[in-house]
Amino acid sequence: MEELARESINLLASASSKPPLDVVAGPRLGSMGAIFIMLKSALGAGLLNFPWAFARAGGIRSAVTVELVSLVFLVSGLIILGYSSSISGQCTYQAVVKEVCGPAIGQLCEICFVFNLFMISVAFLVIADDQLEKLSGSLYELVTGLPESEMPYHFYTDQRFALTLLCILLILPMSIPKEISIQKYISVLGTLAATYLTIAIIIKYHTTPHVLIYATPLYTSGISSWASMFSVIPTICFGFQCHEASIAIYSSMENQRLSHWVFISVVSMIFCLIIYSLTGQTVLHFLLHLFTS
């Protein structure tokens, strides 16, 4: 115990002697910029799964309870990552893991990190491809007044061509800069897009007449409902996942006090909680009107 205590004291002493994480050149992040980038990193494909997660969990109350419990661990993880970045003096997730856990674990983290980013990129490109297809059909109907089924094929009407342009003209230029603070402007648009989707769902729910359909209830009670509630934890945690970018965000902030990082993490996760809960609750209410009336 004494030896462990000495090691902890030495680690804290070495951390206090290190300069702040200002090795990253360029503009620094303020509080709002950091929050928007955190929100942009968390809000995304997970939003589409929350109505299913709310139904699977056994209702709104159970789902929100799972969200709140999960947030305790998720926010704690963000705080630990920020603290690890401050004591290690590193600016990336992989470098922090290598510094804190050793070179072997650091290399394993790099492999897992690349694989994780690849799978996330594939998921988002599939969603973007689907939306571009819908956008192309809607524009054709708006311009010509003809149904989408009569749209002739041209290379420029193919969503794969539009997806390629999107990657070259938008995604690639945003990926080149090493300084993450440049993404604060586009992060505002991403957050507004997710907020718009939630507001649109709520308005659509309250303005659409409900059709009564008699069918089996969406969820049951008892032991099976408890199992279903725990089964949605991975889906809910995925919706709040922004830990890979958290260290880069923390190291780019002007104010790198740990208390300020706690504030940024809590505010970001609470806003995500509101967006996810409103979306999941509204869609679940609509489904309950359909299937349990």
The C-alpha atoms of residue 204 and residue 4 are separated, in whole angstroms, by 59
Element (H or E) spanning 29, and its range? none
What average pLDDT does this structure show over 100-127? 86
Q: Kindly report the pTM of this predicted structure.
A: 0.74
Cα-based distances in Å from 205 to 37, 51, 192, 202:
30, 13, 20, 5
Q: Is residue 136 part of a domain?
A: yes
Would you state the structure tokens that stand for residue 236, as one six-digit string? 């809910």
End-to-end CA gap in the chain: 63
- The per-residue pLDDT of the chain, averaged, comes to 78
- How far apart are alpha carbons 271 and 192 in whole angstroms? 12
Q: How many domains does the chain have?
A: 1
Residues 150-188: tens digit of each pLDDT: 777 777 777 788 888 888 888 888 888 777 777 878 888
Q: Give the C-alpha distances (Å, rounded to integers) separating 36 from 18, 140, 272.
A: 28, 34, 11
User: What CA–CA distance (Å, rounded) separates 49 from 239?
Assistant: 8
User: Cα 40 from chain centroid?
Assistant: 6
* pLDDT tens per residue across span 262-287: 999 999 999 999 988 888 777 766 65
Q: Which domain holds residue 236?
A: 28-207+224-292
Q: How many Å is the maximal CA-CA distance in the chain?
A: 79
Instruction: Single out the residue of 44, 28, 3 nearest to residue 242, CA to CA.
Output: 44
pLDDT in tens, 188-206: 888 888 888 888 878 877 7
Tokens coding 48: 């589409």
Do residues 31 and 261 make contact, with C-beta atoms less than 8 angstroms apart?
A: no
Whether residue 16 lies inside any domain: the answer is no
